[in-house]
């Protein structure tokens, strides 16, 4: 995909998201959206200004690695709560399973390509997801038992 196509599709999807849900957004969501757009535009301008394509690729790879690691670590925000109450009801089990499987697939793909920018953040994603999945074994969901009626 060419850079012009990438810019066109990025703008299209951003505007579509903005137009379809602007009436449901509160100020926090708008601020978060604007922060993300500002980050993306700043990154794009920075990469576009670099003369050397390899340097640009390396810097963009580092930015993508950091963002990917932050994505994988997001469910860890409720970790303290899970340990305090010894219950995993606040953790999204299916999302964590999917994250583990998909990041494992990306690790394998990164190994095939010998690309550290793919391998490292997705390996960390596997580790973080495996840790979160282990909490479901350590603190199983509480199932309420009901007395037998019959």
Q: Where are the domains of the chain?
A: 1-49, 64-142
Q: Using 50, 70 and 90 to split pLDDT, how confident is the model at 82?
A: confident
Q: Report DSSP state, residue 117.
A: H
**pLDDT at residue 146, as a whole number:** 46
Question: What is the pLDDT averaged over residues 71-87?
Answer: 83
* pLDDT for residue 12: 66
Upper half-sphere CA count for residue 126 (Cβ side, 13 Å): 14
Chain mean pLDDT for the chain: 82
pTM of the predicted structure, to 2 decimals: 0.65
Instruction: Give the pLDDT confidence of 88-125 residue by residue, as tens digits.
Output: 888 888 988 999 999 999 999 999 999 998 999 999 99
Residues 43 and 15: their CA atoms lie apart, in Å, by: 19
Percentage of the chain beyond pLDDT 70 is: 77
Q: Which two tokens stand for residue 120?
A: 């490292």
| Strand boundaries in the chain, DSSP class E | none
pLDDT at position 123 is 96
**pLDDT value of residue 103:** 94
Give 64-142's CATH code, choosing from 3.40.50.720, 1.20.1280.290, 1.10.760.10, 3.60.15.10: 1.20.1280.290
Token pair belonging to 114: 């010998």
């Amino acid at each position: 995909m060419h850079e012009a196509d990438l810019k066109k599709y990025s703008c299209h999807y951003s505007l579509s998201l903005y137009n379809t849900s602007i009436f449901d957004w509160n100020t926090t969501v708008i601020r978060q959206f604007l922060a993300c757009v500002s980050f993306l535009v700043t990154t794009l301008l920075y990469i576009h200004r670099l003369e050397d394509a390899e340097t640009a690729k390396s810097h963009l790879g580092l930015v993508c690695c950091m963002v990917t690691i932050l994505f994988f670590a997001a469910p860890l925000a409720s970790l303290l709560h899970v340990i305090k109450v010894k219950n995993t009801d606040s953790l999204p089990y299916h999302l964590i399973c999917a994250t583990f499987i998909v990041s494992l697939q990306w690790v394998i793909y990164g190994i095939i390509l010998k690309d550290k920018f793919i391998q490292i953040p997705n390996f960390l994603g596997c580790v973080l997801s495996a840790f979160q999945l282990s909490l479901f074994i350590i603190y199983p969901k509480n199932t309420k038992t009901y007395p037998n009626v019959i």
